[in-house]
């Protein structure tokens, strides 16, 4: 059961990258709320800004990137106003992040059990090494790893992809963070392992009452794991709402197109749909609605004005002028 109490609130986040080719307008007015014990999915095509959004929450945007404006309120505190030393204490202990490629994130020359124990020791200074190791083995057991004590003594290269991702999840959840950011956590794994890992993650997240920001381009994964979803297009948030409402009754033309691109398993001969045109360059994004050059409903105003967010039914919101007559504008 989701507790409607905001843990994370991102307000009008704007991120730019100052490259030799010009200024990349990577994120523009990104806004969403993640409640406690809730899983929010960030959806959209590759390059739409999902990972930049996640890294911004951890304040991990390196030069030439820069967070220009906005607020990232975590338990009411704006992370963008904290000094780096305070941010370091928050990363890992209160907000953890699981990456796509676990083997790239694990240290190749340290046994995996020691790596998990080390994470604990950094964040719980009163622990001794022996207790930390025992808790690392416990965590591996909770992730359904057979003979966890033996696996804890292995090096990352001795593990399969699925096993390495379980180790990574153990490492990120062992400190019982309040927020877990999972960036395409299973996209490098085959489908059966993917389902197992997602199931284990869901179980653990429920047990330790962690909120999850799940980044995925896989709408099937989203439907299975998320309570709410936020759809991004070309660095902007275009639609948010409860997962069932958005997936069953998408209200933004981009979300509608995105859902049609999912292959129909019941009808494999059916030709695949693709959204016409290309994703715009963020060096010179279109003025007005960024989806306008590809949108079959585009009106003149779409090319000149930025559509505001409209409040649809329930908690469903959408940035599209098609709702201007029937829905109320949400004020920032
Ligand atoms: Fe299409 Fe206009 Fe809506 Fe943008 S605002 S999605 S261009 S109808």
Please tell me whether residue 118 adopts helix, strand or coil conformation.
helix
Judge if 25 and 141 occupy the same domain.
Answer: no
Residues 123 and 264 in one domain: no
Query: Are 171 and 199 found together in one domain?
Result: no
What confidence score (pLDDT) does residue 201 get? 82
| Mean pLDDT of all residues belonging to the chain | 90
Query: Ligand 1 centre from 246 Cα, in Å?
Result: 17
pLDDT at 277 over 80: yes
Cβ–ligand 1 distance for 322 under 6 Å, the answer yes
SS (H, E, C) 124-146: CCCCCHHHHHHHHHHHHHHCCCC
pTM of the model: 0.89
Task: State whether 155 and 113 are in the same domain.
Answer: yes
- 222-273 pLDDT per residue, tens: 898 999 999 999 999 999 999 999 999 999 999 999 998 877 776 777 777 7
The ligand 1 atom nearest the CA atom of 292: 7
- For position 100, what pLDDT does the model report? 74
166 part of a folded domain: yes
CA of 327 to the centre of ligand 1 (A): 15
* Same domain, residue pair 294 and 237: yes
Domain boundary among 152, 176, 200: 176
Distance of CA 279 from the midpoint of ligand 1 (Å): 15
Task: Report if residue 3 sits inside a domain.
Answer: no
Task: Work out the pLDDT band at 4, boundaries 50, 70, 90.
Answer: low
1 belongs to a structural domain: no
Is residue 42 predicted with pLDDT exceeding 80? yes
Residue 2: inside a domain: no
Within this chain, do residues 184 and 282 fall inside the same structural domain, yes or no?
yes
43, part of any domain: yes
- Which of 150, 176, 202 is the endpoint of a domain? 176
Task: Examine the fold and report which residue of 153, 176, 199 is the final residue of a domain before the chain moves on.
Answer: 176
Same-domain check for residues 206 and 139:
no
| CATH assignment at residue 25 | 3.40.50.300
DSSP-derived pairing of the beta strands 39-43 and 228-233: parallel
The number of distinct structural domains making up the chain is 2
Full residue range of the structural domain in which residue 164 is found: 102-176
Same domain, 72 and 202: yes
Q: Is residue 215 part of a domain?
A: yes
- State the pLDDT at residue 117: 95
Q: Which residues contact 217 (CB under 8 A, 6 or more apart)?
A: 43, 44, 45, 46, 50, 184, 187
Q: Which of 256, 297, 312, 327 to mutate to test the pocket of ligand 1 (most atoms within 8 A of CB)?
A: 297
Residue 27 within any structural domain of the chain: yes
* Same structural domain, 88 and 223: yes
Is residue 148 within 8 Å of residue 183, measured between CB atoms? no
The answer as to whether 48 is a domain residue is yes
Structure letter (DSSP) for residue 277: S
Is 80 found in the same domain as 41? yes
- pLDDT at residue number 332: 62
Question: How many whole angstroms separate alpha carbon 280 and alpha carbon 4?
Answer: 36
> 181 with 167, same domain?
no
Residue 152 above 80 pLDDT? Answer: yes
237 lines ligand 1 (CB under 6 A): no
pLDDT digits over 280-328, tens only? 999 999 999 999 999 999 999 999 999 999 999 888 999 999 999 999 9
Question: For residue 194, what pLDDT is reported?
Answer: 79
Specify whether the CB–CB gap between 44 and 231 falls below 8 A. Answer: yes
* Nearest-CA residue for atom 5 of ligand 1: 320
Q: What is the pLDDT of residue 193?
A: 76
Distance separating alpha carbons of residues 84 and 80, to the nearest angstrom? 10
What pLDDT digit, counting tens, does each position of 181-207 carry?
A: 998 887 767 777 778 888 888 888 888
Asked if 217 and 294 sit in the same domain, the reply is yes
């Amino acid at each position: 059961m989701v507790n409607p109490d905001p843990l994370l609130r991102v307000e009008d986040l704007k991120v730019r990258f100052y490259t030799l080719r010009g200024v990349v307008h990577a994120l523009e007015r990104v806004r969403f709320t993640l409640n406690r014990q809730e899983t929010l999915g960030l959806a959209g095509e590759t390059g739409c800004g999902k990972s930049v959004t996640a890294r911004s929450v951890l304040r991990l945007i390196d030069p030439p990137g820069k967070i220009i404006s906005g607020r990232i309120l975590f338990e009411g505190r704006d992370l963008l106003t904290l000094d780096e030393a305070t941010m370091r204490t928050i990363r890992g202990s209160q907000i953890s992040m699981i990456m796509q490629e676990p083997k790239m994130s694990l240290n190749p020359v340290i046994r995996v059990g020691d790596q998990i124990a080390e994470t604990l020791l950094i964040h719980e200074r009163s622990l001794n090494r022996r207790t930390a190791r025992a808790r690392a083995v416990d965590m591996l057991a909770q992730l359904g790893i057979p003979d966890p004590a033996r696996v804890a003594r292995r090096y990352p290269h001795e593990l399969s992809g699925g096993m390495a991702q379980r180790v990574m999840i153990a490492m990120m959840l062992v400190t019982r963070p309040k927020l877990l950011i999972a960036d395409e956590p299973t996209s490098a794994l085959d489908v059966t392992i993917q389902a197992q890992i997602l199931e284990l993650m869901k179980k653990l997240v429920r047990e330790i009452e962690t909120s999850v920001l799940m980044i995925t381009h896989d709408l099937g994964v989203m439907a299975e794991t998320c309570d709410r979803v936020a759809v991004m297009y070309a660095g902007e948030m275009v639609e948010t709402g409860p997962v069932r409402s958005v997936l069953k009754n998408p209200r933004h033309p981009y979300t509608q197109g995105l859902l049609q691109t999912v292959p129909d398993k019941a009808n494999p001969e059916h030709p695949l749909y693709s959204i016409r045109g290309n994703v715009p360059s963020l060096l010179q994004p279109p003025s007005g609605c960024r989806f306008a050059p590809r949108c079959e409903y585009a009106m003149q105003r779409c090319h000149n004005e930025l559509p505001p967010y409209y409040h649809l039914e329930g908690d469903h919101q959408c940035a599209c002028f098609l709702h201007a007559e029937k829905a109320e504008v949400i004020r920032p």
